[in-house]
Structure 1
Amino acid sequence: MKKVLILNGHQFYKNVAEGNLTNSFINKANEFFTKNGFEVKQTHIEKGYEKEEEIEKFEWADYILFQYPVYWMGLPWIAKKYIDETFTQGRHFASDGRSRDDASKLYGSGGLLTGKKYMLSLTYNCPESAFNNKNSLFDGMSLDQAHIAVHKTFQFCGLDALETYAVHDIFKGDLNLDAELEKFEKILTKNFL
């Protein structure tokens, strides 16, 4: 049986980011994985966690789905704190890969969670047109390039990336949640089945 860890990286802000959209995607993912025979574990970071238990979840999982809203071009600080605490405590998920005896072993090649995959699922206020556009805020970067720190963190630990999902323009007022959840499920199907 395939095993997936769903991480909810949402951080609550009254009237601005109360978590309803994030929860819609978490619920859809849980429904999808359960329907398709996955064993599922979840962590809602803001509700608290035990570091040792989280380490065990990462060791247990075949897949990680990391759902979070993008705040100020990155992770909510509690999600970054979670990564720092979980990945740095006790058993490490990576050495940096280098070797005094073998110069061909490069920095970042020592991940201990090899054979596992992860997917980022993001909620954004910015429009999709902000990416791959040299005249926009992200200077021509793709969605994944704009999240290089998260991708490199997982890569450093040995995980492989799956296709990223993002919903854009969430405050514009015309979000079709049903259509977005359908799009999300298609990417889940592509990535996990």
Structure 2
Amino acid sequence: MKKVLIINGHQKYEGIAEGNLTKIFIDEASKFFENHNFEVKHSMVESNYDIKEEVDKFAWADYILFQYPVYWMGVPWLTKKYIDEIFSAGNKTVTYLNDGRSRDDASKKYGSGGLMKSKYMLSLTYNCPESEFSNKQGFFDGLSLDEANIATHKTFQFCGAKPLKTYAIHDIFKSDLDLNLELTKFNKVLEENFLN
């Protein structure tokens, strides 16, 4: 049975970001994985998590679905704290052995000391429109969605995990947001990433 860890990276801001959209996508993903006979575990960064237990979940998982809102062009600060604590605690056992370099072997490159064998998917919620990405005149100066989230991707790469296709919902505060359409798109990405 395939094993997936779903991480809820939401951080609540009263009246602005309550976590409802993140919960909708996590519930949808949970249903998808259960319907396809995955074993599922959950983590929530905004909780009193146990660091050792979280490291054990990373060791257990074949796949990681990382669901979070993008705040100020990156992960919420509690999510960054979670990453720092869990990935650091997994040093030499689960996440990474070292930075990859070796005094004895100059061919070993920085960032090649990861221990994780899992694959991961980022699922992001954004206020900015999709048109801002891969657009030289856009806010992100031509960067793609994945390039704009390079810090998170490089963190997983440093630890040896392989990326799956990223999903993002955009313009979340627009009154004409079609959530059903977005959930259909989300399910298609889940199928592509986890069933093929």
The question of a shared fold, defined as TM-score above 0.5 by the shorter chain, is answered with yes
Question: Per the alignment, in what secondary structure is the counterpart of residue 144 of structure 1?
Answer: helix
Which residue of the partner structure matches residue 136 of structure 2?
134
Return the offset for 1:90: 5.4
Q: Provide, for residues 129-167 of structure 1, a one-character-per-residue CA deviation record: whole Å limited to 9, x for no partner.
A: 000011111000000000000000000000000000000
Residue aligning to 2:12:
12
- Structure 2 residue ranges without an equivalent (≥5): none
The partner residue of 1:104 within 104, 107, 110 is 107
Q: C-alpha distance in 1, partners of 2:163/2:131?
A: 23
Instruction: Structure 1 unaligned segments of length 5 or more: list them.
Output: none
Q: 1:33 to 1:112 in 2, by over 3 A?
A: same
Task: Output aligned runs, 1:97-176, within 5 Å.
Answer: 97-114=100-117, 116-176=118-178
Tell me, yes or no, if structure 1 residue 63 matches structure 2 residue 42. Answer: no
Structure 1 counterpart of 2:194: 192
Q: How many residue pairs get matched?
A: 192
Rounded Cα–Cα distance in structure 2 between residues aligned with 1:174 and 1:74: 25
Deviation at 1:172, TM superposition (A): 1.3
2:117 maps to 1:88: no
Output the CA distance in 2 between the equivalents of 1:173 and 1:159.
37
Cα distance in 2, alignment partners of residues 53 and 128 from structure 1: 36
State which drifts further: 142-151 or 84-93: 84-93
For 1:141, the aligned partner's letter is L
> What does the per-residue CA deviation read over 1:21-60, in whole Å, with 9 as the maximum and x for residues that have no partner?
1000000000000000000000111022100000000000
What is the SS of the residue equivalent to 1:108?
coil
> In the aligned structure 2, how far is the partner of 1:89 from the partner of 1:41?
19
Counterpart amino acid of 1:168?
H
In structure 1, what is the Cα distance between the partners aligned to 2:90 and 2:145? 33
Per-residue CA deviations over 1:72-93 (Å, capped at 9, x if unaligned) read: 1110000000000111125441
1:3-42 superposed matches below 5 A: 3-42=3-42
**For residue 98 of structure 1, what is the amino acid of its counterpart?**
R
Question: What is the one-letter code of the residue matched to 1:105?
Answer: K
Q: Which amino acid aligns with 2:137?
A: N
Q: Does 1:52 align with 2:52?
A: yes
Distance 1:130 1:190 in 2: 25
Could you list the structure 1 runs, at least 4 aligned residues long, displaced by more than 3 angstroms after superposition: none
TM-score by length of 1: 0.98
Q: CA deviation at 1:15?
A: 1.2
Q: Does 1:74 align with 2:77?
A: no
Secondary structure of the residue aligned to 2:176 is coil
DSSP-derived class of the 1:5 partner? strand
Rounded to whole Å, the distance in 2 between the matches of 1:40 and 1:69 is 21
* Cα distance between partner residues in 2 of 1:157 and 1:10: 22
